[in-house]
Amino acid sequence: MSNIEIKALFPMPFVIVRGLLSPALVQSSIESICEATTGANFKSSLLHHTEIFDPSSQQPYCQFDEIIMPRLMDFGALLFGEALNWSIKEIWTNLMEPGGYQAIHNHSNSFISGIIYLTESHPSSRTVFHRSIGGREFIFSNDNPNAEMGAFNGNKWVAPEMKPGDMVLFPSYLLHEVPQNQGQRRITIAFNAIPERLDSWGYAVSFNSYRSGQDQ
The per-residue pLDDT for range 38-86, each reduced to its tens digit, is 999 999 999 999 999 888 878 888 889 889 999 999 999 999 999 999 9
Cα–Cα distance, 208 to 174 (Å, whole number): 22
Cα-based torsion angle of the residue sequence 115, 119, 124, 127 in order, rounded to the nearest 10 degrees: 0
pTM, two decimals, is: 0.92
**Which residue(s) pair with 156 in the sheet?**
130
Residue 211 has pLDDT above 80, yes or no: no
Q: What angle do CA 129, 11, 138 make, to 5 degrees?
A: 70
Considering the domain boundaries, does residue 101 fall inside one? yes
Domain of 198, in residue numbers: 15-132+156-207
Phi then psi dihedrals of residue 91, to 5 deg: -150, 145
Q: How many domains does the chain have?
A: 1
Considering the domain boundaries, does residue 148 fall inside one? no
Considering the domain boundaries, does residue 138 fall inside one? no
Considering the domain boundaries, does residue 75 fall inside one? yes
Considering the domain boundaries, does residue 145 fall inside one? no
Q: Residue 44's domain is classified under what CATH number?
A: 2.60.120.620
Reported as a single tens digit per residue, the pLDDT across 152-199 is 888 899 999 999 999 999 999 999 999 999 999 999 999 999 999 999
